[in-house]
Amino acid sequence: MPRLILASASQRRLELLAQIGIVPERIEAAGVDESPRPGETPARLARRLAEDKVRLVAERFPEDLVLGADTVVACGRRVLAKAADEDAARRCLGLLSGRRHRVHGGVSAAFGGSVRTRLVTTAVRFKRLSAAEVDAYIRCGEWRDKAGAYAIQGRAGAFVIDVIGSYSNVVGLPLYETAALLRGLGLEAAWPKS
């Protein structure tokens, strides 16, 4: 069995992998430029970033299985990146309020010179947020380092009317597709012995 290397320093992705019995042997943050290219759709951006991360780390570890992912939150064709400050977080929440948006998750794996990638899109609908709700969410700080300035697995879960598609994709990694991708490359989740 090859070693599994996660091309991401995301604690959420580590926790999600552990949830399905997968523990990477090494963490290697890829450090790629996450800026969209001119005319690039949010879905293509998520896919490209996942592939770029995997390719970069796979160059350093050619004998290992490398897994990478990226999450892009979008309102229409507009990418809602990680908010840099409170004002940016307020703008994101204002755009999401009372609307449906999409979360595109790219997941990619490299092994033996080949790269396989999956794209998962989840639709999320927010309730209309009051100024007091936005203020309280900004104060709690949960928006920091989150695409779209929210964490569905936290307090922002109270803003979500419905989710169509993979919930774990919105958290940071589509688990079904990730497990299938890794299984196709020979890595099975570890199940406890009975």
Bridge-partner residues for 4, per DSSP? Answer: 65
Collect all residues with Cβ–Cβ distance below 8 Å to 194 and sequence separation of at least 6. none
Structure tokens, 157: 């879960």
**Residue 70 annotated as catalytic:** yes
Of residues 70, 87, 135, 162, which has the active-site annotation?
70
Structure tokens, 193: 């012995």
Cβ–Cβ < 8 Å for 61, 122? no
Q: Which long-range contacts (CB under 8 A, 24 or more apart) does 85-88 make?
A: 86/138, 88/149
Beta-strand pair 65-75/4-6: parallel
Hey, which residues are catalytic here? 70
